[in-house]
Amino acid sequence: MSDSLADPTTTEKILRERSERLARTPEAEDPGQHIDLLVFLLAREEYAVAAADICEVMPLKALARLPGIPTPVAGLTGWRGDLLTVLDIRTLYGITQPGLRDNRRVLVASAGDDTPDVLGILVDDVVGIRRTSKAGLQPVPPGVAPYREALLGIGPGGMLVLDAATLVSTYY
């Protein structure tokens, strides 16, 4: 055993420093500085939406396609005893569209706290939640993505962050 650890004065000093460091109250973060993003996949690329705008993530069990409906509306599905309009945003952002797979998910998005308007966003899979700084969201430069109005910005790793409220208010 080392002599410095055997010395009671040194051991007491180390323990006191540790206890003081652990007893400190962490500095409170301003909740407005960060945003929790629900990250999802479309054609093996990561995209995100503010997690606060998502009511539910559900598997796509059935989708009724409607003839003559313009893109990006993919069709209707059942949700909590009602019909939910489902968007396939691939068409908005020029993503090639493979056929529907069995494990697709629908993000049920809301236009905000003060409205009951919701719609579904069809995704390939859900990756999870990531917290990022709001200041870290970069503006979308012209020409990078079509339909820029429905984007909050470019997030970590260059993923596009969608504005669910804009999608809901436009397509509800």
9 in a structural domain? no
Torsion of CA 28, 34, 35, 41, to 10 degrees: -120
Say yes or no to pLDDT of 96 above 50.
yes
pTM of the model: 0.76
22 in a structural domain? no
Going by pLDDT thresholds of 50, 70 and 90, the confidence category of residue 102 is low
Q: Which amino acid is at 89?
A: I
CATH number at residue 39: 2.40.50.180
Say yes or no to pLDDT of 1 above 50.
no
4 in a structural domain? no
88 in a structural domain? yes
The percent of residues above 70 in pLDDT, for the chain, comes to 87
- 15-20 mean pLDDT: 84
Q: Which of 32-41, 47-56, 138-147 has the lowest mean pLDDT?
A: 138-147
- 15-33 mean pLDDT: 74
The whole domain housing 54 covers 33-171
5 in a structural domain? no
142 in a structural domain? yes
Say yes or no to pLDDT of 9 above 70.
yes
pLDDT tens for 43-83 read 888 999 999 999 999 999 999 998 998 889 999 999 999 99
73 in a structural domain? yes
The domain tally of the chain equals 1
Residues 44 and 27: their CA atoms lie apart, in Å, by 38
24 in a structural domain? no
